[in-house]
């Protein structure tokens, strides 16, 4: 299942990912990240759990992403109280593997503009 999910990754990347998930403690830790976020998302459907975000933000989204839906993307800007740049790509979830050449200039510009060490 993971191999199919990571079809845009190199064989070396896939083996690296799988080496982590073969270790039960590491797999549990990775799953706990999603479990924790799921609990937060359930709370968020009942009340607002985020405040204002006061840092310059570059949001890059693949419009075919199976994990981050359009509702979150379309409403997230409401919390951004600093510079906000949104880049929508014709892509899925694995943007670094599939759209690196489109992402790189946007990231570079953002890092340089805000003097963020890369």
- Under the banding of pLDDT at 50, 70 and 90, the label for residue 62 is very high
Task: Give the global pTM.
Answer: 0.74
Q: Say what percent of the chain tops pLDDT 90.
A: 50
Query: Is the model more confident about 30 or about 104?
Result: 104
What pLDDT digit, counting tens, does each position of 91-106 carry?
999 999 899 999 999 9
Q: Which residue has the tokens 């190199």?
A: 10
With beta carbons less than 8 A apart as the criterion, state whether 52 and 82 touch.
no
b/e sequence 23-44, b meaning 16+ C-beta within 10 Å: eeeeeeeeeeeeeeeeeeeeee
- Under the banding of pLDDT at 50, 70 and 90, the label for residue 45 is low
Averaged confidence pLDDT in the chain: 89
Query: Is the model more confident about 2 or about 13?
Result: 13
């Amino acid at each position: 299942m993971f191999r199919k999910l990571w079809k845009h990754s190199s064989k070396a990347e896939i083996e690296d990912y799988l080496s982590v998930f073969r270790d039960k403690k590491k797999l549990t830790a990775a799953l706990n990240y999603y479990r924790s976020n799921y609990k937060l998302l359930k709370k968020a459907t009942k009340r607002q759990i985020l405040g204002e975000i006061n840092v310059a933000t570059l949001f890059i989204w693949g419009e075919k992403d199976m994990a981050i839906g359009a509702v979150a993307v379309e409403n997230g800007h409401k919390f951004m109280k600093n510079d906000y740049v949104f880049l929508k790509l014709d892509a899925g979830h694995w943007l670094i593997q599939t759209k690196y050449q489109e992402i790189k200039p946007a990231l570079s510009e953002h890092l340089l503009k805000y003097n963020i060490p890369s």
